[in-house]
Structure 1
Amino acid sequence: MAISTDNVISSERVEGTSVYNAGGEKLGTIDDLMIDKVSGQVRYAVLEVGGFLGMGTDRYPIPWNMLKYDTSQDGYVVPLDKAQLEGAPRYGSDSVPDYDDAYRTGVDKYYGL
């Protein structure tokens, strides 16, 4: 059985894609994808917010299933506003956490999963 290219996307094309809230306000761009080693499923899209040329940016892991692609915006939409995002788990570019069970539980709990 062949895989339809309509149903898959290269991670290279996802990285750099804009992320908006439901009101159309740009929150940031996808910097990275975190993939579960065992299942092979994307667990988190890491949203990069702020900074300049990667300096002073914050990275927010957002559960992949929260992102919905919107062709009219050519980007992903999440059900979050800036205030919700500001309170979310985040890290700097130089301090990537271990995505161990405790960290994942904290992220998922914040987003109500």
Structure 2
Amino acid sequence: MAHLDETGTLIGADKVSGTSVYNAEGENLGAIHDIMIDKKTGRVAYAVMSFGGFLGLGSDYHPLPWSALTYDPQQGGYVVHLTREQLEGGPRFGENEAPQWGDRDYEKRVHDYYGIGPYWM
């Protein structure tokens, strides 16, 4: 069976992983490492962005509310209206750490940092 992983408006999760993330000025900030989907609603809740490090080593992972990203077909990646400094100061976790998914207080802090309402409201 053929695997269709992209149409004009839909994309497979496996294709999102590795997609570049840019700021509004076109600076490459990192890449999508993974996406988190709400099991009950089926909505994409977060993009987990890899940021920093060298050649993928020593990267931190930054949970971004999915609604903070906009796909830009001209750049072939996602755009966030954040500066590098805002990302550096934002919520993050290391390669060997587990974020507190499912803890609404943790998730609310992520949304509050970026000034975006929680996806579950």
TM-score above 0.5: yes
Please report the RMSD computed on the Cα atoms of aligned residues, expressed in angstroms: 1.4
Please tell me whether residue 108 in structure 1 is matched to residue 105 in structure 2.
Answer: no
Instruction: After the TM superposition, list the runs of 4 or more consecutive aligned residues in structure 1 that deviate by more than 3 angstroms.
Output: none
Q: Give per-residue Cα distances to partners, 1:36-59, cap 9 Å, x unaligned.
A: 111111000001012245431100
Question: 1:6 Cα shift?
Answer: 2.3
Rounded to whole Å, the distance in 2 between the matches of 1:70 and 1:5 is: 15
Rounded to whole Å, the distance in 1 between the matches of 2:37 and 2:100 is: 13
Aligned match for 2:46, one of 33, 44, 47:
44
Q: Which one is further off, 72-81 or 43-52?
A: 43-52
Structure 1 stretches lacking a partner, 5+ long? none
Which residue number corresponds to residue 27 of structure 1?
A: 29
Q: Counterparts in 2 of 1:1-113, with a 5 A limit?
A: 5-52=7-54, 54-99=56-101, 100-113=103-116
Rounded to whole Å, the distance in 2 between the matches of 1:6 and 1:32 is: 21
Structure 2 stretches lacking a partner, 5+ long? 1-5, 117-121
3-state DSSP of counterpart to 1:60: strand
Q: Give per-residue Cα distances to partners, 1:16-44, cap 9 Å, x unaligned.
A: 00000000000000000011111111000
3-state DSSP of counterpart to 2:26: coil
The two structures have a TM-score, normalised by structure 2, of: 0.85
Which residue number corresponds to residue 119 of structure 2?
A: none
3-state DSSP of counterpart to 1:20: strand
Alpha-carbon contact 1:54-1:93 (below 8 Å) kept: no
Of all paired residues, the percent bearing the same amino acid is: 53
The two structures have a TM-score, normalised by structure 1, of: 0.91
> How many residues in Structure 1 have an aligned counterpart in Structure 2?
110
